[in-house]
Amino acid sequence: MRTRCLRLLALGLLCGLAFASTTLFAQHVKIGPPVGVGSHAPSVPTGALPAPKAPSGGGVTIGQNYDGIDFLGSNCGCLPPDTNAAVGGNFVVETVNIQIRVFDKTSGAVLLDEDLGTFFGQGTGGDPFVVYDDIAQRWYVNAFDGTDSGLLLAVSNDSSPLDGFVTYDLTNVGGFPDYAKPGFNKDAIFISYNNFGSGGGEANIASIDKAAILSGTLSYFVSVPKSQFRAMPPARMHGDTTGGTEWFVSTDGSDSGGSTMRVTQMTNYLSNSPVFTYTSLPVTQYQSAVQADQPGGPNSITTFPNTTTYQVHLRNGHLVTAMASGLAGDGFVYPKGLIYQIGLSGGTPSLLKQIVIDPGAGVAVQMPSVDEDSKGNLGYSWIESSLNEYLSMWVGARPVKTKKHVKSLPAADAAPGGGFFTYGFRIGDYSTTVLDPADNLTFWSANEYIGSNGTSDIWLTHLTSFTAPVAKH
């Protein structure tokens, strides 16, 4: 297993206008028996993988490192798996299209493995997402309902995902609520989505009364913010004690490109008259990338969709989020991982850090996700490929006391790719990186990689825990 230091780019702040929005994007697609190119590399084992050694000079420390739900075990026969995971207590919960699996956090043993139809107690179209609310100590799982016109929300009975869930059906959401992303604060659960029913694909937000739903009653309000394509993910406001405010971070109206990121503040959300306040933060220009390579296949991996945020965390007074997009340095050709840390001092958003995950020229970085630990260290995950590397999962960190002009950051290859990826439909919709509330220092990431046979070992998923290195003074 490889370790290395990543190149870190210092980015200037540029002002400009966002590009025009794109239109409806496709959902997961059913596929038949694999055909096409076979394995291009020696096989690599699946299941538990050995922890890599830290690079000289200090690096991320890998803890648990094991496979999640793969394509063949997803009970779906569709691409992509849309892998995501959450951690709480001694549990890690992963969802994909259309399966849920509960792992013992310490050993990786599977404690529950269920298709989502059984889990919800009714049919579902998939696109699931799981979060652990460390304020209420409950698990939430959302997905399409069986008609793809409403949203299912399952709420755990207590802090254990093994003690059962209650499923609620949000039907008044406009029809075809695509790309649904959850978040929470002290008094509400939020699900933002693209309304392809009556809303023309614009972002809508369902605000769910948390106290009511935890007592068994569904009460929610649907609102429409300023025009935004690809649903703007609501923050998971860890440790929120006051409620009353929810934050969102997204591209500034479009997923094609731009030079600003939008931070949205929402108040009065448990009503029919919410209040939105928008802040456009200048960032280095980004644009949809067009190329991703793999050994034996120049431009053979899709870069679609990308250029969209899909999870936001609020910790230490900071919002953190990530997305993949092209930068001007190579003509917006290869996607790179873009990480944003945003301060909320005095309630006014300001850009604190921009970090670029850039392993080098010709390396495509996709599906990045990020969280921040209690010390302010950033931990993140991504998948990458190049003419010298099959699609692999990586994790990395930026210690809080990193020197301003450092050129590299520690990283480790958590799940090396082993074969040629033959399906180019889409790269996936999201990955996740979350902090373990048990110590607020251990990150857990769920992401994807390709096994030794890219026609059958497609879209393997992987779960990795890791901690940031101790910064040297």
232-247 pLDDT tens trace: 999 999 999 999 999 9
* CA atoms of 127 and 431, how far apart (whole Å): 12
Label residue 54 by pLDDT band (50, 70, 90): very low
CA distances from 431 to 163, 265, 339, 369, 428 (A): 26, 24, 14, 6, 8
At residue 423, the pLDDT reads 80
Nearest residue to 466 via CA among 103, 104, 102, 58: 58
User: Beta-strand (E) ranges in 268-400?
Assistant: 275-287, 312-315, 318-326, 335-343, 350-357, 364-372, 378-386, 389-398
* CA atoms of 225 and 213, how far apart (whole Å): 24
**DSSP string of 67-124?**
E---GGGSSS-EE----EEEEETTEEEEEETTEEEEEETTT--EEEEEEHHHHHTS--
Handedness of CA 242, 133, 220, 267 (dihedral sign): positive
Q: Is the pLDDT of residue 317 over 60?
A: yes
* CA atoms of 362 and 365, how far apart (whole Å): 10
336-368 pLDDT tens trace: 999 999 999 988 999 999 999 999 999 999 999
For tokens 């100590």, what's the residue? 137
pTM of the model: 0.89
Looking at residue 185, the DSSP 8-state letter turns out to be -
Cross-strand bridge partners of residue 314 = 237, 319
Tell me: cis bond preceding 98? Omega within 30 of 0 counts. Answer: yes
Domains contained in the chain, CATH given: 3-467 (2.130.10.10)
89-105 pLDDT tens trace: 999 999 999 999 999 99
Cross-strand bridge partners of residue 467 = 61
DSSP reduced 3-state for 214: helix
